[in-house]
Amino acid sequence: MSSLARMVKTEFSILKGWLEEDHLAALSCFRVSARRMATKPYSTKKLGVSAENLAKAGAAALDIEIDGPSCGQKAKQFFETWFVPHQIEPISSSDRGFVTGYFEPEISASPVKTDKFKYPILKRPVDLVAIDDDTRPQDMDPSFFFAKNENGVLSEYYDRKQIETGVLDGKGLELFWFENRIDIFFIHIQGSARLVMPDGSVRRISYNGKTGHEFTAIGKILIEQGALTLDNVTMQSIRKWLEDHPDSADELMWKNRSYIFFTEVSHPEPQMGPVAAAGVPLTPGRSLAVDHRLQTFGTPIWVSTDKPIPGSTKAFERLMIAQDTGSAIVGPARGDLFIGTGFEAGQIAGGIKNTADFIVFVPKSGTHAQ
């Protein structure tokens, strides 16, 4: 259990909007994770949601016949039968839940370096290894979960500035090439992208590790400098500032020392979102990025906001499924809503920054629902 919050058992009846929810859409998204859990279970994380019990609920979900007029009621009954809602209550009022949005960019790129496409996105180096609390060197900051392995000696990996100024050049890590570093920076933040090649073909890339340095929000830096205000800082306003200040853009982006590596993916379901950290394709409007140190992948989480997300007229109240993570997603009551792919999804995602309540659906114990 996190020291930042406590989980308090509650009832489905207190979930505002639960009766009006599209339970079948939520179940369909949960079944995506259930198929993964059936062959490769997740691990239980610090909030204590049992991955074993979650997999049992997943198996039950896959047995449900979702065709026919009563499928919506069947979906609602499934969640109410197999789960007990627990509200995440922050210890401090300043730790109130918060939700943002993200999307899958669609960006022009090239498989080879050209005069137009000069800046590479990199695949994971062989000397970058995952570490944990047991393997991390004592002198390394506990926030690091990746390290450089040099002949068995673990050390802090290179940061964004070192990498973008050439420390990894000549190692054959270039995956695709882009017109500018700003495109790459925002792909790093989103964790995936659809890439449109010069011949019109589409390739997809997804997250495959990072340097381990703590994520630094450059929007916060711009607010501190007076360049933006809390009211107008969005992904779009940050990007415009970078484009309008080419002489300062690199130095600002380098303040976010975290650097992400990617791999090309052959998507199993091209109509869906990218395959994310939980190993499943994301569902627009249903997949949630969480702090994976705390939340167990596959967990259903009810998210409700105080105000609408862009493009809507009512507060966001929806059952999401934990299927991704991100460097900026830190804390038990923190989430990132996956909106979809392309420009319009980006416009919506970039404007989401709402306080929110998080209610975790904890699977019941035993071989069947109790």
Count CA atoms closer than 13 A to 9's CA, side-chain side.
4
Whether 94 and 108 share a structural domain? no
Give 150-170 pLDDT, tens digit per residue: 999 999 999 999 999 999 999
Number of domains, the chain: 2
State the angle between helix axes of 181-190 and 246-254 in degrees (0 to 180), rounded to the nearest 10: 30
What type of residue is 195?
A: L
Whether 170 and 256 share a structural domain? yes
| Run of H or E residues at 37 | helix 23-39
Give 271-283 pLDDT, tens digit per residue: 788 888 898 999 9
Whether 140 and 226 share a structural domain? yes
User: Would you say residue 256 lies in a domain?
Assistant: yes
Q: Which residues contact 194 (CB under 8 A, 6 or more apart)?
A: 104, 105, 106, 107, 202, 203, 204, 341, 342
The answer, yes or no, to whether residue 2 has pLDDT greater than 80, is no
% of the chain at pLDDT higher than 70: 96
User: Which of 223, 240, 265 finishes a domain?
Assistant: 265
Whether 244 and 119 share a structural domain? yes
268 — pLDDT class (breaks 50, 70, 90): low
Give 155-210 pLDDT, tens digit per residue: 999 999 999 999 999 999 999 999 999 999 999 998 889 999 999 999 999 889 99
pLDDT at position 366, please? 45
User: Which of 214, 245, 265 finishes a domain?
Assistant: 265
Q: Which residue has the higher pLDDT, 307 or 357?
A: 357
255 — pLDDT class (breaks 50, 70, 90): very high
Average pLDDT over residues 299-328: 92
pLDDT at position 370, please? 36
Check residue 299 and give left, alpha or beta (phi > 0: left; psi -120 to 50: alpha): beta
Q: List the 146-150 sheet strands across, edge first.
A: 128-130, 146-150, 153-155
User: Would you say residue 54 lies in a domain?
Assistant: yes
Distance, in Å, from the CA atom of 338 to the CA atom of 280, rounded to the nearest integer, reads 13
pLDDT at position 269, please? 73
Mean pLDDT of the chain: 92
Whether 111 and 250 share a structural domain? yes
% of the chain at pLDDT higher than 90: 78
State the angle between helix axes of 235-244 and 246-254 in degrees (0 to 180), rounded to the nearest 10: 130
Contact status, residue 47 vs residue 2, Cβ threshold 8 Å: yes
Q: Residue 138 belongs to what domain range?
A: 103-265
pLDDT at position 117, please? 98
User: Would you say residue 369 lies in a domain?
Assistant: no
Whether 255 and 291 share a structural domain? no
Average pLDDT over residues 48-70: 92
User: Would you say residue 270 lies in a domain?
Assistant: no
User: Which of 205, 235, 265 finishes a domain?
Assistant: 265
Q: What are the φ and ψ backbone dihedral angles of 238, each rounded to 5 degrees?
A: -65, -45
User: Would you say residue 368 lies in a domain?
Assistant: no
Average pLDDT over residues 94-110: 90
Average pLDDT over residues 224-229: 96
Average pLDDT over residues 110-135: 96
- Going by C-alpha positions, the residue among 318, 308, 315 that lies closest to residue 284 is 318
Whether 244 and 287 share a structural domain? no
4 — pLDDT class (breaks 50, 70, 90): low
How would DSSP label each residue in 110-165?
A: BSS--SS--EEEEBPPTTEEE--TTTS-TTS-TT--EEEEETTEEEPPP-HHHHHT
pLDDT at position 306, please? 84
pLDDT at position 367, please? 37
Whether 47 and 63 share a structural domain? yes
Distance, in Å, from the CA atom of 315 to the CA atom of 305, rounded to the nearest integer, reads 6
How would DSSP label each residue in 24-36?
A: HHHHHHHHHHHHH
pLDDT at position 369, please? 38
Whether 21 and 83 share a structural domain? yes
pLDDT at position 244, please? 97
Whether 164 and 256 share a structural domain? yes
Whether 241 and 320 share a structural domain? no
Whether 68 and 125 share a structural domain? no
Average pLDDT over residues 71-82: 95
